[in-house]
Amino acid sequence: MPPMKPMKPMEPMKPMEPMKMGDMKMKMNPMQMRMGNISMEMGSSSSATSGKRFCPQCGTAVQTSDRFCSSCGYQL
Mean pLDDT in runs of 10 for the chain (76 residues)?
88 82 62 73 55 82 88 91
CB 33 within 8 A of CB 40: yes
Residue 7 lies in a domain: no
Partner residues linked to 38 by β-bridges:
35
How many CB atoms sit inside 10 A of residue 76's CB? 15
Mention every residue, 6+ apart, whose C-beta is less than 8 A from residue 54. 38, 40, 60, 61, 62
- The answer to the question of residue 17 being in a domain is no
- pLDDT at position 63 is 87
Specify the pLDDT at position 36: 73
Is this prediction's pTM over 0.85? Answer: no
Domain span at 44 = 31-76
Residue 68 domain flag = yes
C-beta separation of 35 from 44 below 8 A: no
Amino acid at 36: G
Q: What is the pLDDT of residue 35?
A: 74
Output the pLDDT for position 22: 65
